[in-house]
Amino acid sequence: MFDGCPGAADVVILPDSTKAFVACSAGHQVMAIALADSKFNAGKPDRMEALLDVGRVPMQLALKPDGGELFVSNAGSDSISEVVTSTDDVGGAYLMGDAPVRGLVSSDNSMLYVANSRSQYVTPYAIDDGRRLNSIHVGDGPAALAFSTNGYLLFVVDNRSGDVAVVRTGTQSLFAILPTGRGPDAIAVKGFSVQ
């Protein structure tokens, strides 16, 4: 347990289990923690490495599958912050939309999709180019994101309109909207095959 992370809202662990990052939503920071029993920290206790200044109200951390960078959804400053995980450096902040609360990185590490909860939009961000693309109109209050098993579809849970928007990732376009009922706030995609 570490002090100094008020309003802990989300945590991610690097694929090699060497570090954890915690979003401190009331402190406008992300805490980097070196984890015990990793190959680089064997026999030592967990220790705080750094407190990284990011935007206001960091709500969620989206880690690239390769673990090289993570993206912080700063709901209070309408931005995302990019963190280089190996050096604990904040690489920059980028305006995204109205209250970004959730991000999701594609399996090829190239695209970040950001749900802007006080809007009707998801904003794609091209990671390699470092640029925001045209926002995709979905339902009202996007709150959660998930990819289809093959990554060709992005499912967006719209909290206020009570639906799931289905977006084609190849064309960045809305495909369908499916009703769910009142106030959905999470989604899971199960990959399975019928025998």
Tell me the per-residue pLDDT of 82-109, one tens digit each, with 9 for 90 and over: 999 999 999 989 999 999 999 999 999 9
Counting the structural domains of the chain, the total is 1
Position 149 in a domain: no
Q: Which long-range contacts (CB under 8 A, 24 or more apart) does 81-87 make?
A: 81/30, 81/54, 81/55, 83/21, 83/30, 83/52, 83/54, 85/14, 85/19, 85/21
Domain that holds residue 20: 8-138
**What is the spatial distance between Cα 1 and Cα 154, in angstroms, rounded to a whole number?**
36
Using DSSP, state whether 56 is helix, strand or coil. Answer: coil
Q: The domain spanning residue 118 has which CATH number?
A: 2.130.10.10
- Cβ 112 vs Cβ 129: under 8 Å: no
Listed residue (117, 136, 134) closest to 177, CA to CA: 136
Position 148 in a domain: no
Sequence-distant (6+) residues with CB within 8 A of 195 are none
- Cβ 169 vs Cβ 156: under 8 Å: no
Using DSSP, state whether 136 is helix, strand or coil. Answer: strand
Q: What's the chain's Rg over C-alpha atoms?
A: 17
Position 75 in a domain: yes
Confidence of residue 46 (pLDDT cuts 50, 70, 90): confident
How high is the mean pLDDT of the chain?
A: 93
Mean pLDDT of the region 11-23: 95
Summarize pLDDT for 113-134 with one digit per residue, the tens.
Answer: 999 999 999 999 999 999 999 9
pLDDT of 194 above 80: no
Confidence of residue 163 (pLDDT cuts 50, 70, 90): very high
Position 189 in a domain: no
- pTM surpassing 0.85? yes
Q: 36 or 147, which is more confident?
A: 147
Position 125 in a domain: yes
Q: What is the DSSP letter of 35?
A: P
